[in-house]
Structure 1
Amino acid sequence: MSGSLGVVAPDGVPEVRPGDDLVALVVAAFPQIADGDVVVVTSKVVSKAEGRLVPGSDRAAVLPAETERVVARRGPTTIVRTRTGLTMAAAGIDNSNVEAGTLALLPLDPDASARALRRALAERTGRNVGVVVTDTAGRAWRTGQTDIAIGAAGLVVIDDHAGRTDAYGNPLAVTAPAVADELASAAELVLGKLTARPFALVRGRGDLVLPRGLDGTGAKALVRPEGEDLFGYGAREAVVRALAGRPEDRAPFGAPAALEEVAAAVELVTGTSPRRHDGALVCTDDPRLPALAMAHGWVVDVLVGSVTHSAPAETTIRPATP
């Protein structure tokens, strides 16, 4: 047995406009759709059909309404976390493949859009298929972009290998392919960016398609929760947020770091060794301590000086509490 994967994207799909029936277009594009197939749909046509278009050409003007928080800024580029948890340049707002003077916003709930498509396809074709809604995203350490799954239904989106062993008997602990993203990227190879091909059909991974009536976790399962992302802020933004020290900026820095880790950081930055006291650190007073504490999920103790009154002045820092 050998593995194989087939991906096809037909030409000639008509322009999609608000209110159009995407399911009818998909059915017409894939008359031989079969159980176990995965239908891949670009977010752009989902946004068009759902009326997620706004007049204008200035993305910065509509960006705040689509932003949960700013992750990083660099010149004209702003990377944000959207309401759905996606981290993307300009919140995925795009002016390509739309009429001039128009901006396309991402679907309000891409997983819900995928579920609606899966359900309607089952009703009209009698077939049990998975659905992936895709969008293009950059990668923090790689040049260029690739398509990812921002919505999914009826599909295993992450293939967790934890508890399995490889061919050499080695236990697998962290291997978890994001198969929904891999399907999105495979489909993008035939969809392209400059063609009228908004739909693709992937055949050969029916093992990832869930039984009828089960939609699965959706693509939201691929989004890291706040605080679990080791790079919740860009390099510059992290410095600014740590120095500003606003409580609402704390979550992306993650859970409080271990005492020994913070002690080592204090010694590295200030050149002095803190004392351990009841789960806290008593440090020689230094104006950099609040930012250092913030970056590690710690806080300056509100009872500064309560542990000791010796000279020189001292500051107590402790892990932040939820």
Structure 2
Amino acid sequence: MITYRTPTNWTWIQAKQKEIEQLTPILEHESSIDWLQQIQNNKTNCLRVSITPDGKKVVKGTLIYKQSFEEEHDVKFFHFYVTTDQWVTIDLDWDTLKHIDLQLLQSQISQTTNAVEGFMLFIAEWMNAWLVEIDRFEEDLKTLIWSIRKRNETSILELVYLRRHELLVWKSLLIPVKELKMAIEEVNLHEPCEGRIFPMTCKRIERALTLLQEYEHELDSIINLEEVISSHRGNEITKTLTVITTVFTPIMAFGALWGMNFKHMPELEWTWGYPLSIVMIVISTVLLYAYLRIKGWTGDLLKGKKRGSFFK
């Protein structure tokens, strides 16, 4: 366990799960004892806001700060306890926080005026690291958008829903952070904060959520486009099979007729019966196809699909 008394006279404590018993005499309020008992088995997001009998405002809970996109239970989370004078984190693994200069961040936190400012500065940098990861998601999404035009196959639809799942994971991570911001505002815990740290943190949270909402709209548009294309292609396939069946109806009819085994079939004695039957089949097939063509029922069945085109 690391206990640090900042130059601005507030306490910052970093601990591990196995060191919980050592925290009991250090924390300021009796309500912290219940919190320490609750977090021992808690592995998901939760948030509690309370005001102690002596008027101290407390925000405490658990946040997931890293989630695998492939495995549901592959998560990283930490527990926190924040008042104006104390900030406690349990099981926060700084090494897993990518895109953050840890030495610089810890130095900046130590210079903040109170524990709430220090906590919000950490959240701001955490959000900034997430925004970098969201930019990577945006690159994958843009690649997917152009892949739909160039190579629209079933595998692309799989990628569409894979990106949609990733987006849902991102939103599930960000919603508890937004709730945390609202909880701090609920009890005005940010009132002692000075300067731009709290507004900056709020803006970063809103920016990340706005980006995800816009990406969600893009994915919805992609899914709608895929549904239209799939429906059109399904109709074309059905129409193609219907036309082919109709065109070959004369062949099947004559084949069924002359495949019979009746004793009296005058056509069997005809000298020119065989070539005549072929001529009849060809003429009837051509006439039937011409009729479908004139009526416009064949559509674009004989035209090849253009490269990079959705329908043509």
Could you state the TM-score of these two structures normalised by the residue count of structure 2?
0.32
Q: Which one has a larger percent strand, Structure 1 or Structure 2?
A: 1
Question: Higher RCO, 1 or 2 (CA under 8 Å, sep at least 6)?
Answer: 1
Higher helix share: 2
Larger radius of gyration: 2
